[in-house]
Amino acid sequence: MMDNQQEQFRIDARRRLLILGGINGLLLVGLGSRLFYLQVLKGGLYRDMANDNRISLHPIPAPRGRIFDRSAIPLVENNPDYVLAVIPELVGNLSQLLSKLQGYTSLSDKSIEVILRQSRRQRTFLPLKVKSHLTWEELSSIEVQLPFLPGVIIQVQSQRSYPHGTLAAHLLGYLGEVTDIDREQFAKIRFRYGDLVGKNGIERSYEELLRGTEGVRELEINAFGRQVRELHQNMAQPGQDLYLTIDLALQRSCEELFQGHTGAVVALDVNTGEVLAMVSHPAYDPNEFIRGFSARQWHVLLNNPGRPLSNKAIQGQYPPGSTFKMVVALAALQEGRVTPQDRVFCPGFLMRESQRFNCWRRVGHGSVNLEEALEQSCDVYFYRLGEKLGIDMIEKYARLFGFGESTGVGLHGERHGLVPSRAWKRKVRKEDVWYPGENLITAIGQGYLTATPIQLACMTAAIANGGTLYRPSMIRHTSDPPVVRQHLRIRREHMAVIKQGMELVVKGDHGTARSAKLEGVSIAGKTGTSQVVRQQRHDDRSGRDERKFRDHALFVAYAPADKPEIALAVVVEHGGHGGQTAAPIVGKIIDRYFERQRL
């Protein structure tokens, strides 16, 4: 009996051992399988994940391309700028860190709120900009504390510098922090929070060329977020340098001679369409946009009645006044509505349908032909041409000379001006009738007609070179030939009559721009006075004591008259008569330009 019990016990024990051993075996097989899965099948994946945890990617900003004038004189450069940034994934509590950094920098509570919001919008391993333009005091304080500030880094990037201050500011433009509108326009560029982008001028128009390609540094980081070593570096590719057509010396002369006025100056190379100078006044200092404005400074800039943020050379839309008379005269000659010898008697006014249309000279000009009408800017003569041509023909020739459309200069925000027509009046003003009197005022560059200073300069250059309307260009050192927008196909003898009349404007005994006359350089030009408010007479002074009610003064010119090289258009807002205000400015600019060439 005892033997049977012992035998049964041994059998049960062996069974339990076999079951236990089987279970252990299964556990070992499962463990081995899991280890095989983790170490062999998924080893590469987890190895990469581990590397990602200890590798931090630091972008290397690309130096922005520099900008030079036509003689390789720097207009825009780059200086080193020190930027405080953090790697959010290495920080821990970002809010506490930012509060701590307030002890070392002038970081406001509002700025911290903005940074925290941005941290939720970008990937945590990318640097998050906290503050740029660190002072030496801020930089040294942070550098000393870096071992105790995990995730905090100092980046060195290039800061835009405009060494000439306000000189050519509107042409060059300025930089500002990227916005959603910028992201949409430059969809190919991957912007990050705090990136700077061109906001205006050349800086914006050529953003993709100037920007360059960002580099990256791969850094090994320890558990405390401190850099151990650099693993790899892809260098940043600098942006492309640009060489402009601008002549810095001429630009400076234009701006100096335009001081005290509001308006614009544009100078073009007659034979290529290159922009030699572009002035809009008042101006701003692009460096201020880099350093940052206080709320008060920004308010003053925005509310300046002179509109310093507007580039009046391409955005100012003014009635061209009598500077438009060359277009009307060429239209009448080409269409056979007048000959150079035809004379018109000017008594100082023209009566049409019981309405009086005055000439700027109250006593009139007497009997004048086309050249004399240009010389003396006789309004009655051109009223008659307006009657003979009608608005359809005036519109045709205005558009032939580039009015009513962009010049294609390539600067952001260029306006088109306005060439009125029957169709435009029906669409915009909801009026079906074009009145005869509207032909008259359009023929002297008033009424609905408006143009930009650069359009006036292009028109003048086309007359000077004999009939080629170029697209104004800003970029030099390219192999591309000048771009011709239009061959005007104006008969040579007709163009000669207009040019002779423009010469008489400056050198004639009755010329309206005798104040622009120079010794040694012959100038051809045309004055213009565009009304700001409707008045009974051009010479009526009532209600004009305040500057804002004074007419705009215009003058377009080219020189030398016999072999043209340079064409200019000047608009002086509320400057009064073109011959008194605008013409002397142009004369002095041309004098300096050719004096420098003689040296």
Q: Which residues are catalytic?
A: 322
Outline where 91-146 has alpha helix (H). 94-101, 109-119, 136-145
Where do the DSSP E strands lie in 29-164?
55-60, 67-68, 74-86, 128-131, 152-161
Q: How many angstroms separate the first and last alpha carbons of the chain?
A: 137
Which ranges of 258-401 does DSSP label H, i.e. alpha helix? 286-291, 295-302, 312-315, 325-334, 370-376, 379-400
Could you give the residue ranges of the DSSP H alpha helices within 422-525?
422-428, 436-443, 453-464, 492-507
C-alpha span between 457 and 269 (Å, rounded): 10
Residue 542, Cβ neighbours under 10 Å: how many? 9
Report d(CA 197, CA 160) in Å as an integer: 11
CA 350 to chain centre: 44
Residue 526 contacts residue 556 (beta carbons within 8 Å): yes
CB atoms within 10 A of CB 492: 8
Q: Rounded to an integer, what distance in angstroms lies between the CA atom of residue 133 and that of residue 80?
A: 9
What is the residue type of 345?
A: F
CA distance 191 to 189: 6
Burial class (CB in 10 A: 0-12, 13-18, 19+), 83: buried
Number of residues in the chain: 599
Torsion of CA 272, 274, 276, 281, to 10 degrees: 130
Phi, psi dihedrals of residue 527, rounded to the nearest 5°: -85, 160
**What does DSSP assign to residue 473?**
B
The rounded distance, in Å, linking the Cα atoms of 548 and 332 is 35
Residues with Cβ within 8 Å of residue 9, at least 6 apart in sequence: none
